[in-house]
Structure 1
Amino acid sequence: MAKRLDLKDVDIYYGSFQAVDGVTLSIPPNSVTAFIGPSGCGKSTVLRALNRMHEVVPGARVEGEVLLDGEDIYAPNVDPVSVRRTIGMVFQRPNPFPTMSIRDNVVAGLKLQGVKNKKVLDEVAERSLRGANLWNEVKDRLNKPGGSLSGGQQQRLCIARAIAVQPEVLLMDEPCSALDPISTLAIEDLIANLKKQYTIVIVTHNMQQAARVSDQTAFFNLRATGEPGRLVEIGDTEKVFSTPTEKATEDYISGRFG
C-alpha cells in the first residue's frame, strides 16, 4: 500500500552548514509530487532525507519530523535500512551493477535479504520488469549483463530493482536528466502507471516534465548564495504553473531566473 509522507519543520545540516531551513509539506499517497527549483536550493537534499540516504554523508543530520503514515522515520528505534526498503530510490544516472545479469540486478535487494528460492526470485524478476515496462524488451536475454542495456533501459532496470523489494514510496532524483527524449517519454509514462501503486516524489529541472507528470509541485529556492534552501510554495501542479501564490515561483517558472 502506498503511504503518506509529512514533513514538519525539517532542518537539514551537513556538519555545521545548514542546507535546508524549516520545510513543512505533505505528500499524499498514490500521487506524484515534483520538487523544482534552481541548483543548490536543497530539493535533492530534502529528497534524500525522505529515506535517510543523506546519512551516508558524515556529519549529516535532520532536525524536525519526517512522518511515514504518522510514524517518525528518524525515531531512535527505527532502522535506516528498513526505511530505505520501504522508501526506494532511483538516482540521476542509471546505476545497474554492470557485470551482474539483468535478472540478478532486479533481485539483488531480495538476495541481500536472504531470499534464495529460485522460483520466488524468478517470479519477482518478471513481475518487477513488467512493472517497469521492460519485460518484453529483455525477457529473452535475462542472463546478459545489465550494463549491456541502453541508457533508458538501464534506468527502467533500476526502477525494476527498486520496486522488486515492494516499497511503498519511490523517490526519483532527476531520473531523466541523462536520457534522450524517447527514453524520457518512456519513463514519464511509467511514472503515470506506477503512481497507482506507489507514492512518488521526483526532483526535476525540467519544468515541462514537472507539469506533465506531477499532481502537486513544490518550489524550492534560497534567499542568497550560502543561505539554506527553503520551500517557497507547494500546491496542485496546474495551479502552481498557472497562478502561483509567490512572485519568486512565477519568476522561476517563466524563466526570469534559475
Structure 2
Amino acid sequence: MSKRIDVHNLNVYYGDFLAVNDVSMTVEPRSITAFIGPSGCGKSTFLRTLNRMHEVIPGGRVEGQVLLDDEDLYAPGVDPVAVRRTVGMVFQRPNPFPTMSIGDNVVAGLRLNGVKDKKVLAEKTEQSLRGANLWNEVKDRLDKPGAGLSGGQQQRLCIARAIAVSPDVLLMDEPCSALDPISTLAIEDLMLELKKDYTIVIVTHNMQQAARVADRTAFFNLEATGKPGMLVEMNDTQKMFSNPDQRATEDYISGRFG
C-alpha cells in the first residue's frame, strides 16, 4: 500500500476552458499533503484528476501525466474504474448510501467487485471500521441505517467505505467543512493514524488544519476570476507557514486576501 504520485505539466479543462494550468508536483508516500488557496482556484478540480473523477464531468479532460509509482493513470488502455479503486475519495459532505445499513455501506465497494463470502465481508467490515476509529461506536448496530449516524460518524463511515477496498491513496475534498470542531478533531486524528499506511491528499480552507496535519502544503491561486488556477508554491508545511518563498502565499496564509 501507499504510493508516490508524480504529476507532470498537467492542464485541466472543462470543454475549451482551461481550469488549471501546467501543474507539476510530487506527493510522497505515507504522508499528508494539503492543498490550500482561495475558492475557485482549482484545488478540488485538480484533486479529482488524481483518480480520474474529473472526466466524469461532461467536457472534463486533462493533458499531461499523473504517475502512480511510475504508472501513468492516463495512459491508453488504463481503466478509470480500476484507478478509482486504487485512489479512493472522501467528499466534502458525508454521503453514506441512504438505503443501506452501516455494515452494508462499508462493504458496498467490495460487493461491487464481486466479493460474496460472508466471513470475508464481516472481517473487512470490522477491520475498516476499526481503521476509521468507528467500530466501538457502531459495532452493536451494524444493521441500522448509516444515515442515522451523526455528521462526524457519517464522515468516518465514508472513510471506512473508502479504505475497505484497500486503496493506495486517499483523496479528501474538504472532509471537515460540514463538521463541528470535535468531529473535525476526530477526523484529523484519524488522518494522522491512516498516513502510516496510505498516501493522503486533502483540500482544505482551514489554515489551522493544514498546519496541524499536513507534512507538505501546496498553495493554489488564480490571477483573476475566469483565469485558470495554478500552483504557486509547494513546500514543507512548517516552511510554508513560517517563511514561504512567494509573497502571494504569505498574503493568503496571513489573511490579507482570500
State the TM bucket, normalised to the shorter chain: over 0.9
The two structures, once aligned, show a CA RMSD in angstroms of: 0.4
C-alpha displacement of 1:18: 0.4
Q: CA deviation at 1:220?
A: 0.1
In structure 2, the residue corresponding to 1:231 is in which secondary structure? Answer: strand
Whole-Å Cα distance in 2 between the matches of residues 140 and 225 of structure 1? 50
Deviation of 1:123 after TM superposition, in Å, equals 0.3
Map of 2:207 onto structure 1: 207
Partner of 2:133: 133
User: Which residue is 1:43 aligned to?
Assistant: 43
Aligned-partner residue type, residue 167 of structure 2: P
C-alpha distance in 2, partners of 1:238/1:248? 17
Q: Percent identity?
A: 77
Which residue of structure 2 aligns with residue 92 of structure 1? 92
Question: Which residue type is aligned with residue 152 of structure 1?
Answer: G
Aligned to 1:115: 115
Write out aligned runs for 1:220-231 (5 A).
220-231=220-231
Distance in 2 (CA, whole Å) between partners of 1:58 and 1:72 is 22
- 1:198 matched residue in structure 2: 198
State the Cα distance separating 1:77 from its structure 2 match. 1.0
How many residue pairs get aligned? The number is 258
- Does residue 27 of the first structure (1) align with residue 27 of the second (2)? yes
- Counterparts of 1:64-75 in structure 2, within 5 Å, are 64-75=64-75
Query: Which 5+ residue runs of structure 1 have no aligned equivalent?
Result: none
C-alpha separation in 2, matches of 1:180 and 1:225: 31
Tell me which residue corresponds to 1:177: 177
Q: For 2:137 and 2:253, locate their aligned partners in 1 and report how far apart those are by CA, in whole Å.
A: 37
Q: Describe the SS at the equivalent of 1:35.
A: strand
Letter in 1 for 2:39: S
Code of the residue aligned with 1:119 in structure 2: it is: K
Match of 1:246 in 2: 246
SS at match of 1:196: coil
| Counterpart AA for 1:63 | E
Distance 1:70 1:42 in 2: 24
Structure-1-length-normalised TM-score: 1.00
Q: Following the alignment from structure 2 to structure 1, what is the Cα–Cα distance between the partners of residues 31 and 11? A: 24
In 1, the alpha carbon distance for the partners of 2:130 and 2:217 equals 28
Q: CA deviation at 1:99?
A: 2.0
Runs of 4+ in 1 over 3 A off after TM superposition: none
**Distance in 2, Cα, partners of 1:151 & 1:99:** 17
Normalising by structure 2, what TM-score?
Answer: 1.00
Residue in structure 2 matched with residue 161 of structure 1 by the alignment:
161
Cα deviations by residue, 1:125-171 (Å, 9 ceiling, x for unpaired) = 00000000000000000000000100000000000000000000000
Asked whether 1:79 is paired with 2:74, we answer: no
Deviations 1:172-193 (CA, angstroms, capped at 9, x unpaired):
0000000000000000000000
- Structure 2: any 5+ residue segments left out of the alignment? none
Q: Deviations over 1:71-118 (max 9, x none)?
A: 100001100000000000000000001120000000000000011110
